[in-house]
């Protein structure tokens, strides 16, 4: 590309990243921090050499069919790529990249915080004080549950799941995990982690379950109504992965009926919509998909996007290229 490539960015990014975008490329930036309408996405893709979408943008086969001939790279601002039809992109000779390995520690921090909050009833306590209803300390007031010595089951022992395990050990939790592939023995020993080949068996024995697997066709409703029913009534569920992994309707019903002690959710099946019955419950922590929401991680993500675009424009394979057959 002799001239600067046209780079269409679908959401507001940190100022330092946008400034660099403007220096390097013919960047078309977003004026406000709202998702593009589908019509806007189609128009952007028609003129772009490079599209920089986020997880809120669904780049499906229909939209890709409307892309102009110039569009050769979709540089996703995010680690997950379930928002992009990878097979269609590949068939149209459009390269897709993502931003892996920069969200791990921030997401693990958030996961650990959520693991602590719900069993200790911190949300309920804060609401009590904010409503002016607290009448002072009492020996049986606001009793939660101890974290030390409890069994944590991690679904998905990738980078984030492993980082959660490292933190959880420091809080005295017993580490258990289910994963597509078992970790090497040395890694298990380092984390003092127990592998469960059967997800059903693990769910039935855990005090806290943390969902850290990606959303793929294989993991859609991985925690179905049947599997959720295997969990102990006194157990807690934490999800900082993808909302589609859990049957949100079934989870809501179980929480309302007392068949599960509580939940902490940073993601939702139909985000930004949330089941209104879920919002009514006191034993849940609901957060607006902020697991990786630190300035540091957003800048790191932007840096990866810039590197992927520059490498591609220079005629090389970008370092974070995603191949459809590997997903």
pLDDT, tens digit (0-9, with 9 covering 90-100), for 8-39: 999 999 999 999 999 999 999 999 889 999 99
Which CATH number is 155's domain given? 3.40.50.720
Q: How confident is the model at residue 4 (pLDDT cuts 50, 70, 90)?
A: very high
C-alpha–C-alpha distance, residues 209 and 220, integer Å: 17
Same domain, 13 and 73: yes
Is the confidence at residue 95, as pLDDT, over 50? yes
Mean pLDDT of 204-213: 98
Supply the pLDDT for residue 2: 56
Mean pLDDT of 98-109: 96
Supply the pLDDT for residue 327: 39
The vertex-285 CA angle with 282 and 289, nearest 5°, equals 150
Start-to-end C-alpha separation, the chain = 30
The phi, psi pair for 175, rounded to 5°, reads -90, 125
Q: How confident is the model at residue 326 (pLDDT cuts 50, 70, 90)?
A: very low
C-alpha–C-alpha distance, residues 62 and 79, integer Å: 23
Same domain, 178 and 317: no
Same domain, 140 and 51: no
C-alpha–C-alpha distance, residues 277 and 61, integer Å: 34
Mean pLDDT of 143-147: 97
Supply the pLDDT for residue 325: 61
> What domain count does the chain have?
2
Supply the pLDDT for residue 84: 96
Residue-range definition of the domain harbouring residue 18: 6-102+294-326
The vertex-217 CA angle with 162 and 206, nearest 5°, equals 40
pLDDT, tens digit (0-9, with 9 covering 90-100), for 231-285: 999 999 999 999 999 999 999 999 999 999 999 999 999 999 999 999 999 999 9
Same domain, 35 and 129: no
Q: Is 258 exposed, middle or buried, given 0-12, 13-18 or 19+ CB atoms closer than 10 A? A: exposed
Same domain, 79 and 21: yes
- The answer to whether the CB of 242 falls within 8 A of the CB of 82 is yes
The vertex-110 CA angle with 79 and 268, nearest 5°, equals 65
Same domain, 81 and 167: no
Average pLDDT, the chain: 96
Supply the pLDDT for residue 324: 79
Same domain, 201 and 320: no
Is the confidence at residue 159, as pLDDT, over 80? yes
Supply the pLDDT for residue 32: 87
Is the confidence at residue 177, as pLDDT, over 80? yes
Mean pLDDT of 59-72: 95
Q: Please name which of 69, 1, 89, 77 lies closest in space to residue 35, comparing C-alpha atoms.
A: 77
Same domain, 159 and 69: no
9 Cα distance to chain centroid: 21
Sheet containing strand 95-97, edge to edge, reads: 26-28, 6-9, 50-52, 73-75, 95-97, 321-322
Same domain, 208 and 263: yes
Q: What is the pTM of this model?
A: 0.91
C-alpha–C-alpha distance, residues 327 and 325, integer Å: 6
Supply the pLDDT for residue 110: 98
Same domain, 170 and 235: yes
1 domain residue, yes or no: no
- Strand 321-322 versus strand 95-97 pairing type: antiparallel
Mean pLDDT of 162-191: 97
Mean pLDDT of 45-71: 95
């Amino acid at each position: 590309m002799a001239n600067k490539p046209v780079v269409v960015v679908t959401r507001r990014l940190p100022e330092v990243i946008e400034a660099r975008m403007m220096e390097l490329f013919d960047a078309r930036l977003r004026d406000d921090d709202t998702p593009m309408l589908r019509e806007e996405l189609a128009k952007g893709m028609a003129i772009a050499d490079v599209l920089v979408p986020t997880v809120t943008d669904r780049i499906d086969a229909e939209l890709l069919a409307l892309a102009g001939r110039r569009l050769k790279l979709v540089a996703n601002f995010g680690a997950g790529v379930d928002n992009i039809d990878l097979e269609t992109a590949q068939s149209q000779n459009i390269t897709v990249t993502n931003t892996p390995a920069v969200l791990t520690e921030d997401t693990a921090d958030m996961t650990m915080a959520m693991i602590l909050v719900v069993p200790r009833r911190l949300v309920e306590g804060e609401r009590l004080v904010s409503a002016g209803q607290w009448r002072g300390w009492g020996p049986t007031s606001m009793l939660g549950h101890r974290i030390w010595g409890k069994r944590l089951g991690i679904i998905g022992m990738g980078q984030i799941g492993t980082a959660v395990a490292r933190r959880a050990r420091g809080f005295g939790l017993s580490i258990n995990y289910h994963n597509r592939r078992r970790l090497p023995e040395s890694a298990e020993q380092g984390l003092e982690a127990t592998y469960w080949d059967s997800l059903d068996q693990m769910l039935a024995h855990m005090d806290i379950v943390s969902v850290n697997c990606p959303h793929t066709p294989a993991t859609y409703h991985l925690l179905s109504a049947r599997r959720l029913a295997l969990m102990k009534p006194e157990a807690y569920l934490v999800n900082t992965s993808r909302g589609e992994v859990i049957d949100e309707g079934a989870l809501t019903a179980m929480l309302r009926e007392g068949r599960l002690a509580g939940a902490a959710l940073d993601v939702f099946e139909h985000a930004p919509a949330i089941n209104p019955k879920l919002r009514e419950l006191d034993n849940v922590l609901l957060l607006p998909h902020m697991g990786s929401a630190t300035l540091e991680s957003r800048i790191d993500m932007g840096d990866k996007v810039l590197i992927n675009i520059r490498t591609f424009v220079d005629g090389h394979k970008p370092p974070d290229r995603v191949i459809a057959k590997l997903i």
